[in-house]
Amino acid sequence: METRILKGKPIAQAIRDDVSARVSALGGRGVAVTLAIVLAGDDEASKIYSRSIERAAGKLGIEATLVAVPAGAGGDAAARTVRGLSDDPAVGGIIVQQPLPDGIPATIVEEIHPAKDVDGATTASLGLLLAGRRGFAPATPLGVIEILRGSAISVSGRHVVIVGRSNVVGKPLANLLLRKSEHANATVTVCHTGTGDLRRHTLSADILVAAMGRPEAIRGDMIAEGAVVVDVGVTSIDDPTSERGYRMVGDVAFDEMIGRASAVTPVPGGVGSLTTALLLRNLVEAVEHAAG
Ligand code: NAP
């Protein structure tokens, strides 16, 4: 069987083009698109990620501002900072970078109004998603939906098996896929470490989504012939043969999918390529909505 490699970059580019046009249209009406990125503490990976969002935003005419909160600021002060941004009409959307340092609880995100929660991080946003109401979903599960849609793979009426039930990937994705709408309407099974016979479930998938954080845990003999395989996982593993000394690996044994799956997403270059573009699409939607 020929296996399609579903690349994220061209789909991400189409999303960025759409965002850029919408930012220009808002600019024409005198409306600026602004994002506040709350960075608490000194986590190096968060700093790198924040700067990459800032750069990507800048290229699309979006003004992203880093709001630094010192690690020792304490939970109350950090919550006040987030609340202040949420109340500020000049701020279109807010993201709070994770992980947060000790002493700053994850609950500070709850200070973001759902209308500005472009990362879909609050329990209010998760609740709206569960209820099928208007709200923002996190970018990674949106990336799964968009890579399938952009590759003309329909999920409607098909059995999607998700391995992973986190609040940022598995659970929101299950709820997005369950919506009674054109690009959803799937039958969804969610697996986790308590699942009795994982292989029995993965073999029954028309579309398998791996979001486990377990390098190459999904092997070729765990999927049905012709299944579509979407790999969300990304783990850095030591690799002395690579220039950097490490490489990024997905949750799927990619080589074992070739010739067996009808389509598979690569890591890197698959779902992960879409996340920043989709975060910025959420942002432009938030600003459009606020502007009426
Ligand atoms: P997480 O919070 O650690 O959740 C992992 C989930 O996988 C849990 O529900 C866990 O089950 C399940 N799981 C782990 N090992 C399993 C096994 N052997 N069998 C069955 N289920 C298993 O991770 P996450 O935040 O959802 O992220 C998942 C992966 O996606 C990670 O590699 C992460 O780096 C990646 N990710 C990528 C992006 C992107 O932009 N591409 C964004 C976010 C995350 P339990 O609930 O029972 O523990």
What is the per-residue pLDDT for 87?
A: 98
* pLDDT tens digits along 208-222: 999 999 999 999 999
Mutate to test the pocket of ligand 1, among 212, 219, 282 (most ligand atoms within 8 A of CB): 212
What is the per-residue pLDDT for 216?
A: 98
Distances (CA, A) of 50 to 9, 167, 276: 20, 21, 10
Atom of ligand 1 nearest to the CA of 169: 26
pLDDT of residue 163 exceeding 90: yes
CATH topology identical between 30-113 and 138-274: yes
Four-way CATH pick for 30-113: 3.90.1300.10, 3.40.50.10860, 3.40.50.360, 3.40.50.720: 3.40.50.10860
Cα-Cα-Cα-Cα dihedral sign, residues 6, 49, 217, 171: negative
> From CA 277, how far away is CA 11, in angstroms rounded?
9
Protein residue with least CA distance to atom 14, ligand 1: 212
Which residues are 50's β-sheet partners? none
Q: What is the mean pLDDT of the chain?
A: 97
Direct distance between the N- and C-terminal alpha carbons of the chain, in angstroms, rounded to an integer: 50
Say what percent of the chain tops pLDDT 70: 100
pLDDT of residue 190 exceeding 90: yes
- The mean pLDDT value for 198-214 works out to 98
What is the per-residue pLDDT for 246?
A: 95
What is the per-residue pLDDT for 20?
A: 98
Of 235, 223, 254, the residue nearest 161 (C-alpha): 223
Tokens of 10: 């061209």
Taking each helix axis as running N to C, give the angle between helix 139-150 and helix 9-28, from 0 to 180 degrees, rounded to the nearest 10: 110
* Site residues for ligand 1, CB cut-off 6 Å: 140, 163-166, 168-170, 191-195, 198, 211-214, 217, 232-235, 271-272, 275
- The mean pLDDT value for 82-109 works out to 97
Mutate to test the pocket of ligand 1, among 98, 166, 218 (most ligand atoms within 8 A of CB): 166
In angstroms, what is the span from residue 210 Cα to ligand 1's centroid? 8
Please report how many Cα atoms fall inside a 13 Å half-sphere around the Cα of residue 53, on the Cβ side: 30
What is the per-residue pLDDT for 291?
A: 97
> From CA 251, how far away is CA 19, in angstroms rounded?
30
Q: Return the CATH architecture of domain 138-274.
A: 3-Layer(aba) Sandwich (3.40)
Confidence of residue 183 (pLDDT cuts 50, 70, 90): confident
Mutate to test the pocket of ligand 1, among 147, 167, 232 (most ligand atoms within 8 A of CB): 232
In angstroms, what is the span from residue 212 Cα to ligand 1's centroid? 3
What is the per-residue pLDDT for 95?
A: 98
What is the per-residue pLDDT for 107?
A: 97
What is the per-residue pLDDT for 75?
A: 96
> From CA 40, how far away is CA 94, in angstroms rounded?
13
For 255, residues 6+ apart whose C-beta sits below 8 A from its C-beta are: none
- The mean pLDDT value for 105-125 works out to 98
Residue with tokens 């459009």: 288
In angstroms, what is the span from residue 233 Cα to ligand 1's centroid? 7
What is the per-residue pLDDT for 113?
A: 98
Q: What is the CA radius of gyration of the chain?
A: 19
Structural domain boundaries in the chain = 30-113, 138-274
Atom of ligand 1 nearest to the CA of 170: 26
Protein residue with least CA distance to atom 12, ligand 1: 164
- The mean pLDDT value for 251-266 works out to 98
- The mean pLDDT value for 139-167 works out to 98
What is the per-residue pLDDT for 212?
A: 98
Least confident among 4-8, 12-16, 179-183, 269-273: 179-183
- The mean pLDDT value for 65-93 works out to 97
Question: For the chain, what is the HEC assignment?
Answer: CCCEECCCHHHHHHHHHHHHHHHHHHHHCCCCCEEEEEEECCCHHHHHHHHHHHHHHHHCCCEEEEEEECHHHCHHHHHHHHHHHHHCCCCCEEEECCCCCCCCCHHHHHHCCHHHCCCCCCHHHHHHHHCCCCCCCCHHHHHHHHHHHHCCCCCCCCEEEEECCCCCCHHHHHHHHHCCCCCCCCEEEEECCCCCCHHHHHHCCCEEEECCCCCCCECHHHCCCCCEEEECCCEEEECCCCCCCEEEECCECHHHHCCCCCEECCCCCCHHHHHHHHHHHHHHHHHHHHHC
pLDDT of residue 238 exceeding 90: yes
For 155, residues 6+ apart whose C-beta sits below 8 A from its C-beta are: 145, 148, 177, 183, 184, 185, 186, 207
